[in-house]
Amino acid sequence: MSRYILKIDCQDEKGLIYRISDAVFGYKLNIVKNDEFVDKEYGKFFMRAELSGEINKDEFFKTLKTMLPEGANIYIGLKDKKNIVLMGTKESHVLGDILLKHYRDELNANILAVISNYDDLKELAEKFDIPFFCIAYDAVSREEHEKKILSKLQELKPDFIVLAKYMRILSSSFVEQYKEKIINIHHSFLPAFIGANPYKQAYERGVKIIGATAHFVNNNLDEGPIIAQDVITVNHEFDWKDMQRAGRNVEKMVLSTALDLALEDRIFVHKNKTVIF
């Protein structure tokens, strides 16, 4: 018996659950887990179900399409390992944490490659037998640089791209091609401390908590839909280097949480916010 993930979002209306569960029943699928949510502000219905059984995905898709409101988004996927590409720059704590999880076979994903604009992370990637591609940007224009990365990505075909402390801003056109597919970790509890060196900003402001935010990347820097956040407490004894050091544990944890959610198809994006089951 196969396991499927069914995700639906559409305009809410009476009888939706009835019709969907009717279809599920008709295809002899068992509902292992089911979550629903209605955003009342927008009258929008969200549903994610884990199903077991054997189906023709295309047929099931068509059946659902005919019974759901126009404009409904329907996703039917096998519950399986996804393919990801990691991108980094120089800092290795987040990258290393993901590589270790993968090494222990605790990550629901195959890591296809590490891409970086420097070669500092090469040694670490290769310790874990992950192909490493250094695509430097010193001699080329930004456009040229992104073109090279995109060409590599088109070859690798990842389901998700994980920015594991990748410290370069991606252009709109780049982001556009991987909508809701690029996950970034920002080292502050957004929307506080957008931009460069959030720990320095946090230190200057004298906050008593610092945090990290994992989000999908969109056109506006640090303003994409938030997937996961967490914080830790700090005090006057922390200078910004201490905050950075302490914050690294949270960055690892938050990105790890967000990545798991993405890999299990648990995230919907709506109006720059996430609905997560």
Stretch that binds its own copies, among 23-31, 78-86, 144-152, 162-170 (CB under 8 A): 23-31
How far is CA 234 from its chain centroid?
28
Per the structure block, which two tokens stand in for 75? Answer: 């996703």
The catalytic position among 222, 242, 260, 265 is: 222
Q: What is the rounded distance in angstroms from the CA atom of residue 45 to the CA atom of residue 80?
A: 25
The answer to whether 214 and 254 have CB atoms below 8 angstroms apart is yes
Cβ nearer to its own copies, comparing 45 with 166:
45
Binding mask 164-183 for its own copies (x = CB under 8 A): --------------------
Q: Does 81 bind its own copies (CB under 8 A)?
A: no
Interface stretch with its own copies, choices 31-39, 58-66, 133-141, 178-186 (CB under 8 A): 31-39
93, 255 contact by CB (below 8 A): no
* Contact call for residues 91 and 124 (beta carbons, < 8 A): no
How far is 8 from 76, CA to CA, in rounded Å? Answer: 9
In Å, what is the CA distance from 66 to each residue of 23, 59, 62? 11, 11, 6
Q: Which one of 116, 184, 218, 274 is in contact with its own copies (CB under 8 A)? A: 274
For tokens 């009835």, the residue is: 18
Select from 62-70, 110-118, 135-143, 203-211 the region that touches its own copies (CB under 8 A): 203-211
Which residues inside 232-271 make contact with its own copies, applying CB under 8 A? 235-237, 239, 245, 248-249, 252-253, 256
Indicate which single residue of 76, 124, 135, 150 sits in contact with its own copies (rule: CB under 8 A).
124
Cis omega (within 30 of 0) for bond into 225 = no
Select the residue interacting with its own copies from 61, 75, 118, 128 (CB under 8 A). 128
Identify which of residues 159 and 223 has a Cβ nearer to its own copies in the complex: 223
Task: Report the run of H or E that residue 185 belongs to, with start and end.
Answer: strand 182-186
Which residues lie across from 11 on neighbouring strands? Answer: 44
- Asked if 100 touches its own copies (CB under 8 A), the answer is yes
Which part of the chain contacts its own copies (CB under 8 A), choosing from 11-19, 63-71, 111-119, 133-141?
A: 11-19
Q: Is 222 an annotated catalytic residue? A: yes
Sole binder of its own copies in the list 209, 219, 220, 241 (CB under 8 A): 209
CA pair distance 259, 126, nearest whole angstrom: 22
Candidates 88, 96, 158, 247: give the one binding its own copies (CB under 8 A).
96
Q: Which is nearer to its own copies, 158 or 225 (CB)?
A: 225
Distance between CA atoms of residues 249 and 243, nearest Å: 11
Amino acid occupying residue 252: K
Q: H helices of 52-171, where? A: 57-67, 93-103, 122-127, 142-156
Which residues have a catalytic role annotated? 222
Q: Which residues are near its own copies by CB under 8 A?
A: 14-18, 21-22, 24-25, 30-41, 92-93, 96-97, 100, 103-104, 106, 124, 127-128, 189-193, 205-209, 211, 225-231, 235-237, 239, 245, 248-249, 252-253, 256, 272-276
